[in-house]
Amino acid sequence: MRAEARKRPVTAGQLPTIGEVLDRQGVLAYVLLLPGLLILTAFIGWPFITSLWLSVTDQSVSTSVVRFVGLDNFSDELRSQIFLQTVRNTFVYTGVTVVFKLAFGIGLAVLMNQSFRLKNLARAALLLPWIVPTALSAIAWLWLFDATFSVFNWAIVRSGIADRGINWLGEGSWAMTSIIIANVWRGTPFFAISILAGLQTVDRELLDAAAVDGASRWQRFWRITIPLIRPVVLIVMLFSVVSTISDFQLVYVLTRGGPANSTHLLGTLAYDIAVRGGQLSEGAAVSLYMFPVLIVCVVVLLLYLRRSST
């Protein structure tokens, strides 16, 4: 019956049935894209457009009448020492964590690429830091770094390394070090698993041939393995930069940007200004300072993917 309907010839003046319209690949493609497009528009596109609009107005939680102020919010921020310190913090935090995550990620991936007993269990366990919700793992780190109850400090003092423990979250540079350690711990598995997937695509014959030609382990790794997994490494790094530069949860739980703003990131500062201070437009401007960096990352990623696919 349905097959007959499908084959029914469309005569002039007669509208096609829904089934006939959906049978056209071009139409169907857009219909299938529509739900995803709606979700992206509602939860990413619309908030983004709203924040763009907010950033050029003077809207606060208390204002009913909103005025257009151009780029004043952006230029005002440049006069704030807190903002400038936050920008520095954000770049230090992102740069240092990505480098460490890359180094540890490659190391772990190479290790996991070897054959040993319980390999699969080890690979699954490797993912745990990444799977655990960030807020939960951050609370665990909060206790590890706690000024009074830190197990690290207990070990330092008990082992005789020092008379007193480290002021992990109470001293500017140690506080930054602490959030970097927690971020590296959480982010390394993502690097490791992605690079492990890349390592498994490396042709063994190439490595064996190089070994026969007298290449050392290091030479094989550096001259053959690394160039072959470079696309994976680059993409993972770009993803990591995007997610780290916009980090919020870890810092919010551990330090809330303190002490004296030494761990504020753009995300936490924007939250303090917009939500706690009620200055929505100013908070939007602070968060949008991330945008140029993120857009560069995305463009680089897309260009690389396009080049790889061609």
Partner 1 sequence: MHRREVTTSTDRLFSRRRFIYYSAALAAAVACGPAAPSATSPSASPSGPVQLKGTKVALLHWTSFVPDEDKWFKETLVNDWAKPNGVDLTVELVSANEAQPKIVAALQAGGGPDVMLLQWTWSHLYADKLSDVSAVAEKIGSDGGGYYDVMKQNAQVQGVWRAVPFGMTGNAMHYRESLLKQSGADKFPATWSELATVGADVKAKSKLFLGQALGHSYGDPPTFAFPFLWSHGGSETDETGKKLAINSAATKDALVAFKDLFTKASDPQCLSWDDSSNNRAYAAKQIWATLNGASVYLTAQKADPELANDTQLPLLPAGPKGQFVLGVPFQYAVPKYVKDPGPALELISYVMSPKTYGPFMKVGGKGYTLAPYKKGEGELWPSSDPKFDPFKKIGALSKWYGYPAPPSPAATESGSKYIVVDMFAKVAQGETPEFAMTWAEGELKKVYKL
**Residues binding partner 1 (CB under 8 A):** 18-19, 22-23, 25, 28, 31-32, 35, 60-64, 76, 79-82, 145-149, 167-172, 175, 255-261, 272-280
In whole angstroms, give the CA distance from residue 56 to residue 285: 8
Residue written as token pair 């680089």: 300
CB of 34 to partner 1, least distance (A): 10
Nearer to partner 1, 274 or 290 (CB): 274
Q: Which is nearer to partner 1, 77 or 94 (CB)?
A: 77
Query: Judged by CB, which is closer to partner 1: 194, or 261?
Result: 261
Cα R_g (the chain), whole angstroms: 26
Cβ of residue 146: shortest distance to partner 1, in angstroms? 7
DSSP codes of every residue in 99-162: HHHHHHHHHHHHHHTS--TTHHHHHHHHTHHHHS-HHHHHHHHHHHT-TTT-HHHHHHHHTTS-
Rounded to a whole number of angstroms, the minimum distance from the CB of residue 18 to partner 1 is: 8
How many CB atoms are located within 10 Å of the residue 226 CB? Answer: 13
**Residue 81: CB minimum distance to partner 1, A:** 6
Length of the chain, please? Answer: 310
Burial class of residue 180 in the structure, from the number of CB atoms within 10 Å of its CB (0-12 exposed, 13-18 middle, 19+ buried): buried
CB of 37 to partner 1, least distance (A): 14
Burial class (CB in 10 A: 0-12, 13-18, 19+), 149: exposed
Nearer to partner 1 (CB atom), residue 64 or residue 201: 64
CA 51 to each of CA 18, 241, 289: distance values in angstroms, whole numbers, following the listed order: 39, 22, 12
Q: Residue 262 CB, nearest distance to partner 1 (Å)?
A: 8
Looking at residue 258, what DSSP letter applies?
-
CA-CA-CA-CA dihedral for 279, 298, 30, 309, to nearest 10? -170
In the bound state with partner 1, the residue whose beta carbon lies nearer, of 75 and 216, is 75
CB of 58 to partner 1, least distance (A): 10
Looking at the Cβ atoms of 225 and 263, the one nearer to partner 1 is 263
Looking at beta carbons only, is 37 or 99 nearer to partner 1? Answer: 37
Q: Which stretch of DSSP H or E encloses residue 10?
A: none
